[in-house]
Amino acid sequence: MLKRLFILIVILGVNEVTLGLENSVSPLKQPNCRLLCGTCLCLARITQRFLEFEPFIPIMSEIISPLCHLIPKEEWKNKCLDVTDNLPEKIIQFAEHMNILDECSKLGMCQKPFNVKF
């Protein structure tokens, strides 16, 4: 008798899956892992500070600029010089305006808080 009951339960369970009733199962949500989010936020802050205060970034422009002059095509040479002239400011500007929580959320390591509007 117990064996028949067990078989009936198994068959009913299999039928739910085969009949398409598996949609009633709720999808998995992203875990709320504070360690993972905290690690991402910490590394992003370190990267942000590094980019804002790195003394090598302006020097990098001075190193690359002479290489641009070696490019034979004038149009490409000018583009290279434009990039090297503006590169330090663009990197620093990116670092200053970087939203750390958004970046970690895009990577899937943090959950953004919901903005409730009334």
Could you tell me the pTM of the whole model?
0.49
The pLDDT tens digits of the residues spanning 15-29 come to 444 445 555 555 545
| Structural domain range at position 47 | 33-109
More confident residue, 113 or 69: 69
Tell me, yes or no, whether 23 lies in a domain.
no
What is the Cα–Cα distance from 88 to 80, expressed in whole angstroms? 14
pLDDT band of residue 75 (cuts 50, 70, 90) is: very high
Tell me, yes or no, whether 27 lies in a domain.
no
Rounded to 10 degrees, the C-alpha dihedral 75/76/78/83 comes to 140
In a 3-state reduction of DSSP, which class is residue 30? coil
pLDDT band of residue 9 (cuts 50, 70, 90) is: low
Count CB atoms within 10 A of the CB of residue 110: 24
Tell me, yes or no, whether 74 lies in a domain.
yes
What is the number of structural domains in the chain? 1
DSSP 5-18: HHHHHHHHHHHHHH
What is the Cα–Cα distance from 44 to 105, expressed in whole angstroms? 12
Mean pLDDT of the chain: 74
More confident residue, 85 or 23: 85
CATH number of the domain to which 47 belongs: 1.10.225
What is the Cα–Cα distance from 109 to 35, expressed in whole angstroms? 9
What is the Cα–Cα distance from 12 to 60, expressed in whole angstroms? 68
Tell me, yes or no, whether 12 lies in a domain.
no
pLDDT of residue 69: 87
The pLDDT tens digits of the residues spanning 97-117 come to 888 888 888 888 888 764 434
What is the Cα–Cα distance from 67 to 61, expressed in whole angstroms? 10
